[in-house]
Amino acid sequence: MKQTLLYDEHIKAKAQMVEFSGWGMPLHYGSMLEEHKHTRQQLSLFDTCHMGQISLKGKDALAALQRLVVTDMANMEAGRCRYTILCDQRGCVIDDLVVYKLGEDEFILMANAGPVAGDFAWLQEKVGEMEISLERRDGEYGKLDLQGPKSRDFLLRLAAEGGFKLVDGMSIDQMKWYRFAYCELFAVPMIISRTGYTGEMGFELYPPAADTVRVWRELLAVANDEFPLRPAGLGARDSLRLEMGYPLYGHEHSRQTTLLDVGFGYGKKVSYDKGDFFGRESLLAQKEAGPKKCLVGFVVLDRGIPRAGATVYRADQEVGRVTSGGFAPSLGRAVVLASLRCGEVPEGEFFIKVRDKRLKAELVELPFYKQGSVRA
């Protein structure tokens, strides 16, 4: 397994380590349940150094991006981030990305750890002779996620003590959702963005690789009773995103699912009128015919936790499969995301088969958890 920059820190903290997308990652540091609740109520620090970072810059950078992703990037200003999808010609999902615009002709694409090598190969093949430079940058920078309702106040306290400042003089409480800026944290220059995947107020930090361990240590060292910052692992990260109904690559979408089959509003992210892009014609045809699948959420009413692959029934008819399932600590019961055949959603009693049991499930509107501080 590959090791992140913080692997030794996790071992010292006695984290339970697991393999994730080829990386050795901390599952938890004692209790996934406590780490989940702590993130919802306080603030937590996650190691996400395994994520992919791809630099795309040059005279044709915007033109290339417009051709490669489904969302219109023409009106995007420097200092903004935008969520989008990378599709193949069939409209199937290669990866979901967050694009950072650094300047007029320079972008960073934040990719998932598992598909990043395939993403990069696809990009290299498709940009052809265009005047751009394409590079993997994930070995040069770390990535730390500071998440929780107290995360902004924590950074404000650090700013008051001289440990943190935004380079342009703006205060961190002025940073809006899906914006980023340059900052210094413990005298280390880096990018900070107001983004995350937990449903809570949060920030993502990109220190240089050589400084990532020190920044991790110093953040945890300045925690106190008012701001009890703790590390959290993949277990809490997964349950937090599941409560929000956020998709996970390899579960909700993959190269075997078209973007419109994923559902959950993804169709709104497709800018059909921006010009040609990979997957456009296939997606237009599917839009006209109507998607065959849709992504929905269920709360499980009986005891038991369905996992990915479990079969969903309406009465005695099989209608779909679970894509992600788990216990939702904030709700006190199990929840699942499921891919259903369209037309099966509106009515009827649903069950999910777990081994030899049929668990009753209630169709609900996403997200499951609606009290998050993410846009506070």
Neighbours of 312 (CB within 10 A): 25
Average pLDDT for residues 78-107, to the nearest whole number? 95
The pLDDT tens digits of the residues spanning 254-299 come to 898 888 887 645 566 799 999 999 999 999 998 898 878 889 999 9
Which pLDDT value is given to residue 171?
Answer: 95
H-helix or E-strand containing 28? strand 23-28
Which pLDDT value is given to residue 265?
Answer: 53
H-helix or E-strand containing 56? strand 52-57
Q: Domain 292-365 sits in which CATH superfamily?
A: Aminomethyltransferase beta-barrel domains (2.40.30.110)
Could you tell me the pLDDT band of residue 376, with boundaries at 50, 70 and 90? confident
> 31 with 233: CB under 8 angstroms?
no
Q: How far apart are CA 34 and CA 215, in angstroms?
A: 24
* CATH code given to domain 2-51+140-241: 3.30.1360.120
The pLDDT tens digits of the residues spanning 42-91 come to 999 999 999 999 999 999 999 999 999 999 999 999 999 999 999 999 99
Ramachandran angles phi, psi of 103, nearest 5°: -165, -175
pTM for this prediction = 0.95
Using the 8-state DSSP alphabet, how is residue 208 labeled?
B
Structural tokens at position 164 = 């943190």
* CATH code given to domain 52-136: 3.30.70.1400
Q: Tell whether the model's pLDDT for residue 346 goes beyond 70.
A: no
The pLDDT tens digits of the residues spanning 297-332 come to 999 999 999 999 999 999 889 999 999 999 999 999
Domain spans of the chain, in order of start: 2-51+140-241, 52-136, 292-365
Average pLDDT for residues 167-196, to the nearest whole number? 96
Could you tell me the pLDDT band of residue 9, with boundaries at 50, 70 and 90? very high
